[in-house]
A and B are shown apart, each in its own frame.
Chain A
């Protein structure tokens, strides 16, 4: 069965600290996609990254970086030098590729609320 676990319910850091948000997933498929979305206090869902199961390279985008490790079924997200504007709920999500191009769904984790204090 598909499942995404974000064990950290809430994290509070002080500005400029580095913070890592954990994500562990379960799937029986060999082809799948992993995502991170940000939900700021205004409520919209903002796409951050998509990673397919065949690409284990880590990715860096500005202050954001992602560590994908298939051996531990983890797709962790690190924010370097956090800022108050990073305060949001962050969701990790999984989608399996399916067969014949069938439409698939995002399975979301329960989210991690990140509070960055000034």
Chain B
């Protein structure tokens, strides 16, 4: 069983479109995250949710809107996609929000905006 799963794995879309990436974890964790990895492999947090409540919003443009219908899911919706949004997006989860436990990552979604 996959612990943290994201769909789709690859996403190619045109500028201006709206797209969503789904994430689900079956670990029973309370906290979920979205990280962005750019073309230089740099990883940076975007959002974190704890029990469906937004905890961290790391100055991400408001075109990005996370949605957590329950604590096992954290989806990422992106409006009006731009070329600079091309990156790999990773979902992650951890048992405790204070990082006393490790974060488990999904396999990543490679988003290409053309």
Does chain B have a CB within 8 A of A13? no
CB neighbours (8 Å) of A110 from chain B are: 40-42
Q: How far is the CB of B39 from chain A (nearest CB, A)?
A: 13
The verdict on B64 contacting chain A, using a C-beta distance below 8 Å, is no
Q: Cβ of A95: which chain B residues have Cβ within 8 Å of it?
A: 99
Q: What are the interface flags for A83-104 relative to B under an 8 Å C-beta threshold, 1 for contact and 0 otherwise?
A: 0000001010001111001111
A107 to chain B, nearest CB (A): 8
A43 in contact (CB, < 8 A)? yes
- 0 or 1 for each of A37-54: is its CB under 8 Å from B? (1 = yes): 101000111010010100
Given contacts A103-B50, A105-B48, contact A33 B55 (CB under 8 A): no
Cβ contacts under 8 Å, B33 to chain A: 105
Task: Give the distance in Å from the alpha carbon of A104 to the alpha carbon of B97 in the complex.
Answer: 6
Cβ A35 vs Cβ B97 within 8 A: no
User: Interface size of B by Cβ–Cβ distance < 8 Å?
Assistant: 31
User: Contact at B105–A105, with CB atoms within 8 Å?
Assistant: no
B62 within 8 A of A: no
Contact indicator A97/B41 (Cβ below 8 Å) = no
Q: List 17 additional A-B contacts (Cβ < 8 Å) besides A50-B102, A96-B99, A97-B98.
A: A33-B100, A37-B105, A47-B103, A52-B100, A89-B41, A97-B99, A101-B97, A102-B55, A103-B55, A103-B98, A104-B97, A105-B45, A106-B35, A106-B43, A108-B44, A110-B40, A111-B42
Q: Which residues of B contact A (CB under 8 A)?
A: 31, 33, 35, 40-45, 48, 50, 55-56, 58, 88, 90, 92, 96-108, 110
Residues of A within 8 A of B (CB): 33, 35, 37, 39, 43-45, 47, 50, 52, 89, 91, 95-98, 101-106, 108, 110-111
